[in-house]
Amino acid sequence: MDFYAEDANIFEGFNSDTSDNRQKVYIETYGCQMNVNDSEVIASILTTNGYAITSNIHDADVILINTCSIRENAEVRVFGRIDLFGQIKKNKPSVLIGVLGCMAERLKKQLLEQKKVVDVVVGPDAYRELPILLRAAEEGQKGVNVLLSREETYADISPVRLDKNGVSAFVSIMRGCNNMCSYCVVPYTRGAERSRDPKSIVREVEELVKDGYREVTLLGQNVNSYRWEESKGMIKHFVNFSDLLEMVALINPSLRVRFSTSHPKDLTNDVLYTMAMYENICNHIHLPVQSGSSRILKLMNRKYTREDYLARISAIREIIPDCAISTDIITGFCTETELDHDMTLSLMQEVGFDFAYMFKYSERPNTKAARLLSDDVPEEVKTRRLTEIIELQGKLSEQSKRNDIGKSYEVLIEGVSKKSQDEFYGRTTHNKVVVFPKGNHKIGEFVFVEILDCTPATLIGKIVNE
C-alpha cells in the first residue's frame, strides 16, 4: 500500500453499552486507513457474536491490537504496547490478548514464542474466526489463523463505526495488492488483490447516508485497479473504478466522496472525467510517486517512469484544474545517489504537491528489495536527504495554503478544534484542514468558510453566507 501513517491511530472503542454481562473488547488500531476499516469489521463480527466494545482498557476482558508491518518503527511500537498489555494481564490473568492484522501474518512464530502473553494471532483474512479463536483461548489454547484468502472481502459485514464524530466513514472496496513493489510487504501480509461486489459497496454507503454520515472515503491498496466481473448467461458485465465512483456519487448529491490510494500506472482519464463530472467527488488525489528518479522507480518495481508520472499530473491539471495532489516519498532506497535525490527534489518543485507523507527507506524482511538489493545508503545520508525533502515540502505546503487566502470553500464540519472549544474544524474539497469560529452551526453541517490566514499545518477562516 502506498499511503501509510507514521504515527499510530489509536481507536479506543466507542460508546457502547457495557453495563450488561457481555465480555468487553478493547481495540487499538495502528497504521493506515485500511486498518481502521478492518477494526470496524472486527467490531461488527464480535458484537454480532455476543461481545461488547469498550473504550476503557481496564474494563476489558479481551484486548486486541490491530497492527501494521509497513515500517519497522510501527512494529517496534506495537511490541511496546504488547509489553504494556502484559502488565495489565499480570493484574488480571483472565484477560485475553490478541494481535491482529499484518504483524500477525508476518510474525506469527515470533509473537507466540517471544510474547507469552499473546493468546490469539489472527491475520487480515481470518477475522470471521475471531469468536471461535477467543473461546479456544479461554480454554487455554493458542488461537491462531493467519491463512490468506483469494476470496475474502467481508462484503456482507456492516462495519461498526469506531469513530466519534459520526460524520465521515471509510468504506473498503477491495483487499490485497498485486503490484509487488520491491520495498513493500503488503502483498505478503494481505494477499492477492480482490474486489468487492459493487452492490455491497453501494448498500454500505446507503446505510451510512441513512445513519447521517456526510462523507465516505473509498479505500483500497490501489483503488484504480478495482474491477468486478459478473456473468449473466453468455453476457459478462464489468465494473471498473470510474464506474464504481459514479455509482457512489449518485447515491446522494449531498454526500462527499473521497478515495485513496491511487497508483500512478492505473489512474485513467476515465476516473478524472468522473471526478470532474460530479461536484460531490472531492478535488483531491493522493498519488504516491516514491521517487523522482526513473532508475530508482525501476528498482522499486513501480512500473512507471518519472515522465509517466508527470504525464499523469498534466492530465489531472488539464481535466480537473482545481485539484489538490498529495504524495508519498521514500528517500534513501537501495543505491540511491545524490543525483537520484536531486531528481526527487526537482519533481517535487515541478508538481508543487499540496502535502506529502515522507519517510526514510526501511528494509522489510522477505521483500524483493531485502532479498536482492543492498540497503547501502548510510543512515546519516538518509536522514539528511529526508530533512531536505521535508523542508522543501514544508515550503510547498505553506505556499499551497497561502494561495487559498481570500478564497471561500465549502467545508464539512467534523468536530471541535483541539485548541479551542469555541472553534470547529473541517476540511475543504482539497482535504485541507480549516479551523473557524462555531457561530450557530453544528457538527455534520456544510458551511462556506472564507480563508483569512494559515499556519504551516492549518487554514484559518470564518463562516460566510454563500
Q: Cα dihedral sign for 360, 218, 243, 413?
A: negative
Q: Which residue has the cell 466494545?
A: 53
Cell of 256: 462527499
How many CB atoms are closer than 10 A to CB 395?
Answer: 12
Quote the pLDDT of residue 29.
Answer: 92
The whole-angstrom separation of Cα 401 and Cα 354 is 8
Quote the pLDDT of residue 275.
Answer: 98
The CATH number for 165-282, chosen from 3.40.309.10, 1.20.1510.10, 3.30.750.210, 3.30.470.20, is: 3.30.750.210
- Please indicate whether the domains covering 165-282 and 311-403 agree at the CATH topology level: yes
Q: Which CATH class is domain 24-145?
A: alpha beta
What residues are paired with 453 via a beta bridge?
Answer: 460
Q: Given CATH 3.30.750.200, say whether it is the number of domain 311-403.
A: yes
Residue 371 backbone class (left: φ over 0; alpha: ψ -120 to 50; beta: rest): alpha
The CATH number for 408-464, chosen from 2.40.50.140, 3.30.420.40, 3.90.320.10, 1.10.287.3510, is: 2.40.50.140
Quote the pLDDT of residue 2.
Answer: 47
Domain ranges of the chain: 24-145, 165-282, 311-403, 408-464
Per-residue pLDDT of the chain (466 residues; tens, 9 = 90+): 444 343 444 444 444 444 568 999 999 998 888 889 999 999 999 999 999 999 999 999 999 999 887 777 788 888 899 999 999 999 999 999 999 998 888 888 888 877 788 999 999 999 999 999 999 999 888 889 888 888 888 888 888 887 767 899 999 999 999 999 999 998 888 889 999 999 999 999 999 999 999 999 999 989 999 999 987 777 778 999 999 999 999 999 999 999 999 999 999 999 999 999 999 999 999 999 999 999 999 999 999 999 999 999 999 999 999 999 999 999 999 999 999 999 999 999 999 999 999 999 999 988 999 999 999 999 999 999 999 999 999 999 999 999 999 999 999 999 999 989 999 999 999 999 999 999 999 999 999 999 999 998 899 999 997 5
Quote the pLDDT of residue 108.
Answer: 84
Coarse DSSP helix, strand, coil percentages of the chain, rounded to the nearest 5 percent: 35, 25, 40
Quote the pLDDT of residue 12.
Answer: 43
Quote the pLDDT of residue 291.
Answer: 98
Dihedral, CA of residue 396, residue 402, residue 403 and residue 406, to nearest 10:
170
